[in-house]
Structure 1
């Protein structure tokens, strides 16, 4: 399998996601009458999920399989990656053209069905794999499969025009929860633990299982945090609080494990790799703290009641945490030569993401008192341009490392 090609293709897709982000930010300030903003948002979010993050996770998971069991046939996975990409580009065009209609729903369904088949093949091949990261990938793919219930429900409501606002929101948050906190986060932890093992810092089977099950049940029950406004029974609320505390304990264990092995990472990883891990770790810590805090009903109502707060949180998890970690994982494969220009692009990217998140966070905080920040949308346009240019620099400088 041409891993360097697929990884570079993934970064190209991230570049396209950033371009859509720039166009949306531009359209808030200036006129682009031939493009519908809602359709753009739908194209942006679906392509970010499937064209960028799902695609790169597939490639990195296949790369993992090839390392832990070189006997596994990888051709079937390559076909699935191609089908997922075809569906992703079909979604991009269809959503930009007309939002939710038969073509975009068909492309979304194709991408979802691909995830089912990918999960089936991985479960089958995982029987021949003995490694601590395996359960994280299995859980991640399991969450990707069950998240589809939310999408099918949304598609049904959109096509039948039979929309209940509560069920619509619940379906949307259900899908987002099991993608963000399930598929994406679990796969990233699996990749991190394998990277640590490669650096000579393997986690013990016991600690891995304890950390995994606390995180797993936290994610499974934690979907309730997204629908607290639906007035859930007290015992369900208590269960949500308990599993969220368990998930926080699991995150603390993960931080503790990385900290304990930091001396080894100083010897094995580049300074930039370590900095990105701290950067992503900070974003993940903020996410866990906010998740824990959202058990307080008043805070939960505030968080879901202000659009700017929701946007800031989603960008924190998706951009500052998951996307940044995955971009770093691509570069950490050592398939590409990391030049000074590429490093400059990475630094610009990290700065752009941080400034973007800072502005979104401030907008969220000030929106509580209904105060608008002057020129906030202008700054967000400049920051999105910085991210776009940075990704362009990274993409143009991803030269395959020559093997002697």
Structure 2
């Protein structure tokens, strides 16, 4: 079957630069356990812009380009076109929410076969759709082949779901990713003072989950977009405070070559963030830090002015270069820094399906999609990518968008 995909390749291998373009291809023959789907909606989120940035800034760039090219996309909502599975399980016309993580093939991998946390594979052999390293090509395409375990049914064909609720399932993978991070440690969601770095897709979802799970909590958000901050604050005007990060500071944090005086320049910003955050939290520091930014934002928060003893820190974004554990932080009793990657286990994925049906879908449509540009087809998506990447915009300057087919 003819297919079209958005492909990223080397532009100049020696210089480390990339190019992204629309190509024509053919769908491969299905292997046992695979299904062929037609994409309906796919979000263009921060990880895509990081992975395909013309200057090659993703920390796992070499992994993505292990075969010299990749087709991004580890999420979306799609309809089954063909299947190798028993029709009692999957039928043509069923709708699937794509989660994108694929287990290894070893019988003795505890992470993949028992825990079903594929991103923590004991052998490092699990994969993610569209993320290179021999993985299946991703969902930035008209059609995609999905291996077993990389998706869940969200509706049967005969249920005839509305276009509105179907559209919200394109964010199922990101919802599961954020929820997995926030629930991985049993105590994280009892923390009632969240400092949220970044008000993009994942930041909005983190605020929604924390606000609904811990109703008496307060959230303080740092972002460089006044529109995103205002939108997020509207979820809970009393419980959510905001700080507008100057665009010049955001640009410097995201630059590839930060100048020597950056930390000194940031001291006044950190003082301002700390002062306003403490006021919002009744004189206390945050005890839950969720960094959802795709930029290099750890210099804002990896210090004792922001964090408190026993705080849980979740660096969710991919753009930061390192976390600085100073002697002051090392002496903070109970300080926990927890990395979280992946959509969690099977239970988390299935519960996310039910949460979207039970009300989270309404939140997604009214908050994530309301301010997001809809791109009709891959031609429009490719033109939008060209607009954002020629010349390359910094990540905080790129508009939210999604592709509809």
Structure with the higher helix share, 1 or 2: 1
Structure richer in strand, relative to its length: 2
Q: Same fold (TM over 0.5)?
A: no
TM-score of the superposition, structure 1-length normalised?
Answer: 0.27
